[in-house]
Amino acid sequence: MTKELIQDYTLKISQANPTGIIVLVYDIADQYIKDALASFDAADYEEYRQNCRNACRCVEDLLGALDYNYELAVPLMRLYVFINREISLASAKNDTEGLLNARGLLISLKDAFEQVAKEDHSDPMLYNTQSVYAGLTYGRNQLQESVSDPAGSRGFMA
């Protein structure tokens, strides 16, 4: 994953509500799987395994975020365990079949959570973060974002 993507995901996470963060974790896992597939095609198997490990960590985060007070948590847990196993086996066998299966399931689940996220109007998880305004300034071929920090310290005292 490139530094620009990491910065983009960091910004999105700082502005997201709880359901939005889950969608972002799905996005990050999908990006790691895409990177793993690209590494496999380039015959860089060490990078392939590292991207598979990172995708597994994302799935483990999804597993850890489950609230077992809801009925849906148990079937989701089983799916996450299956997805994690598929990614791990694909990494161990140096093939992409399990990785493609896992990606298909993750995309389906992400689509479902995106629908839920549209109805979630709760506040962002992180408070006292910088406000970001897109579209106020732009270059010839790119959109630039402006960061506004009216509080100055955002809670940090020197």
pLDDT band of 26, cuts 50, 70, 90 = very high
| Cα angle: 114, vertex 124, 32; to 5 degrees | 50
Q: Which domain holds residue 22?
A: 3-119
What total number of domains does the chain contain? 2
Check if the beta carbon of residue 98 is closer than 8 Å to that of residue 87: yes
Residues 93 and 37 in one domain: yes
pLDDT band of 8, cuts 50, 70, 90 = confident
Q: What is residue 24's three-state secondary structure?
A: helix
Residues 40-97: pLDDT tens digits?
999 999 999 999 999 999 999 999 999 999 999 999 999 999 999 999 999 999 999 9
Residues 109 and 136 in one domain: no
Residues 111-142: pLDDT tens digits?
998 888 888 777 666 555 555 555 545 556 66
Check if the beta carbon of residue 1 is closer than 8 Å to that of residue 35: yes
φ/ψ of 58, rounded to 5, equals -65, -45
Check if the beta carbon of residue 102 is closer than 8 Å to that of residue 87: yes
Check if the beta carbon of residue 143 is closer than 8 Å to that of residue 46: no
Residues 43 and 107 in one domain: yes
Residues 138 and 114 in one domain: no
Residues 67 and 144 in one domain: no
